[in-house]
Amino acid sequence: MTDESMEKLATEAWLYGYPLVTAAVTKRDMTAVPARDDARRKAPVNQFCYMRTTPDAAFTEVVSPNADTLYSSAWLDLSDEPLVLALPEFGDRFWMVPILDAWSNVCAVVGQRTSGPSAGPFLIAGPSWSGPAPAGLTLLTSPTAVNWIIARYATSGPSDFASVNRLQDGTRLIPLSEWTGDPDAYAPPTDVPVPAGADTTTAPVDQVHALSGRAYFALLNRMMVDNPPAPADAPFLGTLTKLGIAPGASLDDLSAEELAILDAGARRGPEVLRELLAEAEAAGSGGWTVHRGLGDYGTDYAKRAVITRFGYGANLDADALYPHATTDSEGRPLDGAHTYVLHFDAGQTPPVGGFWSLTMMNERQLFADNPLDRYAIGDRSGMRTNPDGSLDIYVQHANPGPDRESNWLPAPAGSFNVFLRLYWPEEPALTGGWTPPTLRRTD
């Protein structure tokens, strides 16, 4: 193969490994504490961190964060033994507990859509464990040792946080060897050793993109040992052996020229992610791109990498859809120098079994600071409808005035994009029978 074709293959390998490397770096960042620290949104491995309030503009750990729900987040290592997941009674509140494997696929999910107000307890087991679940536990299996749980509970805002916090306290993880049938009988350790070298100040995405080719692919090779690639990946993995990329492989014997090829792939990878996203957005309808088939990517490694970069932790379509807009109704990039309106005709707001929202993102795919600390607006926000029953959402940097402030989604001064989040989307949204209206520029 020519150097050019080898560099192309190295870039493809970078995209292939992107979710696994991102999982390793994000897990390291979010678990680098000796005990649960809700204020910093961190907890040791195999423990929940309870995010007691919705994220704000200072939150950088995960791109495309969510202001609609409170989270209970946990990074799992199932290499030693399974974990018991115990859950509270949820009543009529929307909730869901998806489990992502290390390759960012949703390997299991329970929630209001599938279970109603109550579910569990469950036994979460990794690839090294075999055997039936003990009596009273429902088995959930993951193909990888590393997993990420992102439990979500709908909230209507700060006045509702205390009620959700009680549900979070009832969301528990217990090692199988410690399980007695009573979740309250187990107390997580509070003196867990913190691995050296964790960078807890730089956003994980920036850490991943800063890795040299050698560092990136060495980490990928290590991670693939306990988090094996899917059987369907075998043909592509076979082509990567010439680059030294394989589960457990060492890069020590590669030549300087070969390491330079890996570096070239690592430099090119982030550029390709941006290009792939731009292509997908350009193919969107009416200014919106709906990335369907999330959470179950098969061998579509490019799509999997793009979603990891711009929407890490995405759910299955049946649980949530995320129409994404970067342009207005005339195809012009969204920018806070202009004002916009998102207009829903009467009866045409998003069709959902759960709820919906419009969320603002800045150019780094993070929340944009604003005087109201409002990062999303939706059907639980108390917006005013027009006399004919239609609804207008004002998307702009400056406050539109007291008569419109209830319907204002603040935008940053510069480039921005928005997600229209649909939780438990109904059939018209799933099949394309309903599509969002375009953002119309009004200045």
pLDDT tens digits, 250-281: 999 999 999 999 999 999 999 999 999 888 87
The CA distance from 106 to 220, in Å, is: 20
In 10 A of CB 238, how many CB atoms?
10
Which value, to the nearest 10 degrees, does the dihedral of the CA atoms of residues 187, 193, 79, 10 take? 140
Find where tokens 């439990």 sit. 151
Q: Is the pTM of this model over 0.95?
A: no
Coil vs helix vs strand at 317: coil
CA-CA distances (angstroms) from residue 197 to 5, 32, 45, 201, 402?
Answer: 35, 9, 16, 12, 50
DSSP category for residue 67: S
Question: Per-residue pLDDT for 3 more than 80?
Answer: no
H helices of 180-231, where?
204-210, 213-226
Q: How far is CA 350 from the centre of its chain?
A: 21
Question: Per-residue pLDDT for 57 more than 90?
Answer: no
The CA distance from 355 to 94, in Å, is: 8
**Do β-strands 340-344 and 391-396 pair in parallel, antiparallel, or remain unpaired?**
antiparallel
Average pLDDT of span 301-313: 93
Question: Per-residue pLDDT for 374 more than 70?
Answer: yes
E strand or H helix at 422: strand 416-423
The CA distance from 11 to 5, in Å, is: 10
Coil vs helix vs strand at 410: strand
Cα–Cα nearest to 376, from 325, 427, 410, 346: 410
The CA distance from 77 to 72, in Å, is: 17
The CA distance from 54 to 152, in Å, is: 11
Are the C-beta atoms of 190 and 34 separated by less than 8 Å? yes
Between 1 and 56, the higher pLDDT residue: 56
Residue ranges and CATH numbers for the domains of the chain are 3-19+203-281 (1.10.3360), 30-182 (2.60.40.1610), 323-441 (2.60.120.1600)
User: In this predicted structure, what is the pLDDT of residue 1?
Assistant: 59
Residues 6+ apart with CB under 8 A from 251: 214, 217, 218, 221, 244, 259, 262
Backbone angles phi, psi at 113, to 5 degrees: -60, -40
H helices of 52-118, where?
112-115
User: In this predicted structure, what is the pLDDT of residue 284?
Assistant: 63
Widest distance between CA atoms in the chain = 72
In the predicted model, what is the mean pLDDT of the chain?
94
E strand or H helix at 432: none
User: In this predicted structure, what is the pLDDT of residue 209?
Assistant: 97
Average pLDDT of span 330-336: 94
User: In this predicted structure, what is the pLDDT of residue 198?
Assistant: 85
Cα–Cα nearest to 215, from 424, 14, 12: 14
Radius of gyration (C-alpha) of the chain in whole angstroms: 22
Q: How confident is the model at residue 56 (pLDDT cuts 50, 70, 90)?
A: confident
Long-range Cβ contact pairs of 182-190 (< 8 A, separation 24 or more): 183/84, 183/86, 183/121, 188/35, 188/36, 188/44, 188/46, 188/47, 189/35, 189/44, 190/34, 190/35, 190/36
